[in-house]
Amino acid sequence: MASKVVTACMIIIGNEILSGRTQDVNLNYLAKALNELGVRLMESRIVPDVESVIVNTVNECRANFDHVFTTGGIGPTHDDITAVCIAKAFDTEIVLHPEIVKMIESREAPPEVMASRMLMARVPEGSRLIENKTGGPPGFQIENVFVMAGVPAVMQAMVDSLDKERLEGGDPVRSRSIGAYLGESQVANALADIQNQHADVDIGSYPFFRQDGYGTNMVIRGTDEKELDEIKEKIRLMILSFGADPFEE
């Protein structure tokens, strides 16, 4: 029997992604980690550093998904407004977390710099911390919302600290891939038949164009490894029936 599906939404906060200055790589990292933790990333929103947009997006998403993960906007400058927005979304107070305060105070700095750093100790009241092994301030979790840094190395350290217990994850999501030098139009009908036979598995088809020809990669995703192998074998036979050579990458 399939276990309960635990769902997630990711909110990427930052003008730098929407302006094209920065290529986001955090979604891909989180997506892969969630597969292992048995959580399905169902949607993502990329939003600017605008309070009303962040507050509304967080409130919409936390109502619609089991978990919400945010990245970005937890530094000490004027464009770092995530912690305040999350507190507003939950209609709760923003407080200085004693553990983060202690961490920040342990590194000497002039009073003005210390005051700016202390902005990173702000969390909505009742938050639980998300460990940050890179040595900087931690992220935080309030109810089903996990608030993480935007800098990839820091974000990745925070994701790595999360475990299945904390996320109440289900069975890990596994995948199988198989490709062939056959156009998508050639495999379309046969592939649709196979998909129809396996409703709880997700079969995707992705065309590729290379110097030596064009073809299609097919990806099967689900939690039942036996079923995935069975489907992969069906696709392998389908490819052979068209006179092509199946390959794996």
Q: Which residues bind a copy of itself (CB under 8 A)?
A: 14-25, 27-32, 34-35, 41-49, 53, 75-79, 109, 112-114, 116-117, 119, 151, 153, 173, 175, 183-189, 191-192, 195, 202-207, 209, 219, 221
Q: Which is nearer to a copy of itself, 72 or 142 (CB)?
A: 72
249: Cβ–Cβ under 8 A, 6 or more apart, which residues? 177, 179, 217
For residue 133, count other CB atoms closer than 10 A to its CB.
Answer: 12
CA dihedral of residues 159, 90, 40, 157 (deg, nearest 10): 0
Q: What are phi and psi of 141, to 5 degrees?
A: -125, 130
Quick one: tokens of 233?
Answer: 């074998």
Query: How near is the Cβ of 243 to a copy of itself at its closest, in Å?
Result: 12
Query: How near is the Cβ of 49 to a copy of itself at its closest, in Å?
Result: 8
Question: Taken in order 157, 46, 201, 3, is the CA torsion positive or negative?
Answer: positive
Confirm if 26 and 13 have CB atoms less than 8 A apart. no
Q: Which is nearer to a copy of itself, 142 or 231 (CB)?
A: 231
Q: Which is nearer to a copy of itself, 132 or 142 (CB)?
A: 132
Query: How near is the Cβ of 219 to a copy of itself at its closest, in Å?
Result: 6
Q: Which is nearer to a copy of itself, 48 or 246 (CB)?
A: 48
Query: How near is the Cβ of 121 to a copy of itself at its closest, in Å?
Result: 12
